[in-house]
């Protein structure tokens, strides 16, 4: 990364709705750079057009003319409650770890609220510690559902050939938890909470150990979620981390 790029703040990036085929094709390239996808796994430009023209979100993050990140969402309904399903948020590698992801999510939130939508839902790999911290600590999301092998086997090296298990994150945009997280305020862990350790899943871990760790995490989380717990927090770092779960009730539908 060049010194100029390293010092350029994420706030100087322009985030706006995509405006046509050229932008949609740029989003295809971001996917290849961000996740190493082969063409078979790239969401094509036509789907971005569908989202943009039929009630979803197709937001691009631009540094000048270059698209360096995007968000793709679709309108969805669960139990009569309208929300956005955020299918993808991607950032090219040299712009990662600079606050870009949070900037894009805040833009999603602002756009949703301006259109009368107060909930965004998405999925993520429960083995990805940075994403866990981001979703629960930085954004204030909660999770009450674990989906084993949601996408099957993909070409992305990030998935490492193991099942694509996913946690479903619900972001209630006006909730005290979300507003507290976005303000940067610290969250106190409830006394009756439960911690579930996240196994290491980096590429240097043999695949049989990654599979065993994934299976253990899946079984523990699915049992606790079935028993009425929700994931509401995260503690730790890249070396040792845990999900924090507590008994959870919400006025909004979160059976997603």
User: pLDDT tens-digit profile of 160-190?
Assistant: 678 999 999 999 999 999 999 999 998 888 8
For residues 224, 227, 232, 233, the Cα torsion angle rounded to the nearest 10 degrees is -30
Q: Residue 184 class from Cβ within 10 Å (0-12 exposed, 13-18 middle, 19+ buried)?
A: exposed
Q: Which residues have CB under 8 Å from 216's CB, separation 6+?
A: 199
Selection from 162, 139, 163 nearest residue 149 by Cα: 163
pLDDT bucket at 153, cuts 50 / 70 / 90? confident
148-151 long-range contacts (CB < 8 A, ≥24 apart) are 148/218, 150/123
- Is the pTM value of this prediction over 0.75? yes
Structure tokens at 168: 């479903």
Q: 168: alpha, beta or left, given left = phi > 0 and alpha = psi -120 to 50?
A: beta
Q: How many whole angstroms separate alpha carbon 111 and alpha carbon 25?
A: 22
CA distance linking residue 89 with residue 59, whole number of Å: 9
Furthest-apart CA atoms within the chain: distance in Å: 52
In the DSSP assignment, the letter for residue 148 is T
pLDDT value of residue 11 = 59
Question: Which residue's structure tokens are 């940067």?
Answer: 184
d(CA 250, CA 30): 36
* Structural contact between residues 89 and 138, judged by C-beta atoms closer than 8 angstroms: no
Residue pLDDT, tens place only, 24-66: 999 999 999 999 888 988 999 999 999 999 999 999 999 999 9
In sign, the C-alpha dihedral spanning 184, 218, 34, 51 is negative
In the predicted model, is pLDDT for residue 4 greater than 60?
Answer: no
Q: How many helices (H) and strands (E) does the chain have?
A: 7, 10
Paired tokens of 239: 């070396």
Alpha-carbon distance of 158 to 139, in angstroms, equals 23
Least confident of 93-102, 156-165, 213-222: 156-165
Confidence of residue 248 (pLDDT cuts 50, 70, 90): confident
pLDDT in tens, 106-127: 999 999 999 999 999 999 999 9
The Cα–Cα gap between 191 and 100 comes to 34
The DSSP symbol for 159 reads: G
Say if CB 93 and CB 49 are below 8 A apart.
no
Reported as type and span, the H/E element at residue 80 is none
The pLDDT of residue 156 is above 70? no
What single-letter DSSP state applies at residue 191?
A: T
């Amino acid at each position: 990364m060049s010194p100029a790029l390293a010092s350029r703040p994420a706030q100087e990036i322009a985030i706006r709705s995509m405006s046509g085929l050229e932008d949609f094709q740029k989003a295809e390239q971001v996917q290849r750079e961000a996740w190493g996808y082969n063409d078979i796994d790239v969401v094509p430009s036509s789907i971005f057009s569908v989202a943009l023209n039929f009630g979803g979100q197709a937001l691009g993050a631009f540094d000048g003319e270059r698209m360096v990140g995007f968000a793709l969402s679709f309108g969805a309904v669960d139990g009569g409650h309208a929300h956005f399903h955020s299918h993808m948020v991607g950032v090219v590698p040299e712009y990662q770890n600079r606050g870009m992801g949070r900037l894009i999510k805040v833009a999603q939130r602002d756009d949703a609220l301006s259109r009368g939508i107060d909930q965004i839902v998405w999925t993520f790999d429960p083995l990805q510690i940075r994403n866990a911290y981001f979703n629960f600590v930085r954004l204030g999301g909660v999770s009450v559902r674990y989906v084993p092998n949601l996408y099957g086997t993909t070409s992305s090296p990030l998935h490492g050939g193991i099942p694509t298990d996913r946690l479903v994150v619900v972001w209630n945009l006006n909730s005290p938890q979300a507003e507290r997280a976005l303000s940067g305020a610290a969250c106190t862990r409830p006394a009756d909470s439960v911690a579930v350790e996240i196994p290491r899943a980096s590429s240097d871990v043999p695949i049989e150990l990654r599979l065993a760790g994934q299976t253990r995490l899946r079984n523990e989380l699915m049992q606790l979620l079935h028993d009425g717990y929700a994931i509401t927090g995260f503690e730790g770092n890249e070396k040792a981390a845990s999900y924090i779960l507590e008994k959870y009730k919400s006025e909004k539908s979160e059976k997603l």
